[in-house]
Amino acid sequence: MTPGIIWITGCASGVGRHLAGAFLGRGWRVIATDINWQRLRTVAAEDGWDEQRLLLKRLDVVDNDAWEAAFRDVIAEWGGLDVMANVAGYLRPGWLLETPREEARRHMDVNYGGVVNGSLIAARHMSAEGRGHIINIASLAGVAAIPGLGCYSASKFAVRAWTLALAHELKPRGVAVTVLCPDAIETPMLDQQVNADEAALTFSGGRALVVGDLEKVLFDRVLTRRPLEVVMPAGRGFQARLGGAFPAAAAALLNLLRRRGARHQSRRRKRP
């Protein structure tokens, strides 16, 4: 795909940070945003991001007014965008009966509300242009419900449903929409789950994905073929689809996976 202009949220760490550097390295112009402005600037300097093809913006994805202001700046600077990647996310493990309501709202506000805000900003511009691509990061936790990560899982179900519906609405307007549903990824978000017993299912797979896996899928498949949905890795994705389709039958499997995840989690805790 010919390099264009991409807006990526959540660029101060993890997936967003890696993707910003990856797109810049391939000649794209990148709008990199994050709520943590100081950290975002530090990351840009540490990673040597090309300032000639970079716009750094502080953005709270929950704040629609902030989105509007940032979008006006993007239009003034570069005239528009070709791809919107809604990456920013929030996760805090916890059993639902022990979760404060403000935590439940926070998950929905950031993970779902942020995607809604970013998608609508991009869709408005792209629909007028008759082209463009919106990429929303959900999770395998948005395909099958994950006890212990109930708030996160619910928010990612919402992201997935929103994205699939939006894709059908925008297709006649020439705009592609993709939802990417990855398994656990080696990022700070994964690290914060290591000491949470509730998050054992997060570690129930084999090797966790790395940010480079998402980069490869994006450039080799998503940007070129513009699929509606991608689950990764394929094996765990198939497992999640079965669990989502037959939740009652999956209960026994969940117990098995939880025990397996707890063992993997324990080994990670013991790493030097």
Token output for 154: 């619910």
Residue ranges of the alpha helices (H) in the chain?
Answer: 14-25, 37-46, 64-78, 101-107, 114-129, 150-170, 188-191, 211-217, 223-225, 234-245, 251-269
- pLDDT tops 80 at residue 272: no
Token output for 224: 């070129």
Which region among 54-68, 91-105, 182-196, 257-271 has the lowest average model confidence (pLDDT)?
Answer: 257-271
Q: What does each C-alpha distance from 234 to 25, 60, 187, 217 come to in angstroms?
A: 27, 33, 20, 12
Tell me, what amino acid is at 106? R
Sheet holding 29-34, edge to edge: 54-58, 29-34, 5-9, 83-86, 133-137, 176-182, 229-232
Residue 73: domain span: 5-269
Share of the chain above pLDDT 70, in %: 100
Task: Report pLDDT digits (tens) over 178-201.
Answer: 999 999 999 999 999 999 999 999
Task: Report pLDDT digits (tens) over 88-138.
Answer: 999 999 999 999 999 999 999 999 999 999 999 999 999 999 999 999 999
Task: State residue 249's pLDDT score.
Answer: 84
ω before 233 within 30° of 0 (cis)? yes
Task: State residue 111's pLDDT score.
Answer: 98
Phi, then psi, of 255 in degrees rounded to 5? -65, -40
**C-alpha span between 226 and 209 (Å, rounded):** 21
| 200: Cα within 13 Å, side-chain hemisphere | 15
Contact 58, 82 (CB under 8 A): no
Q: Judging by beta carbons within 10 Å of its beta carbon (0-12, 13-18, 19+), is residue 76 exposed, middle or buried?
A: exposed
- pLDDT tops 80 at residue 142: yes
Please count the structural domains in the chain.
1
Task: State residue 258's pLDDT score.
Answer: 94
Please provide the distance, in angstroms rounded to a whole number, between the alpha carbons at the two ends of the chain: 42
Q: What's this model's pTM, rounded to 2 decimal places? A: 0.96
Which region among 47-61, 122-136, 139-153, 238-252 has the lowest average model confidence (pLDDT)?
Answer: 238-252
Average pLDDT over residues 20-35: 98
C-alpha closest to that of 137 among 235, 267, 229? 229
Q: For position 219, which CATH number holds? A: 3.40.50.720
Average pLDDT over residues 64-91: 97
The catalytic residues are 152
Please provide the average confidence, as pLDDT, over all residues in the chain.
Answer: 96
Task: State residue 93's pLDDT score.
Answer: 97
List b or e across 219-242, with b for residues whose CB sees 16 or more CB atoms inside 10 angstroms: eeebbeeeeebbbbbeebbebbee
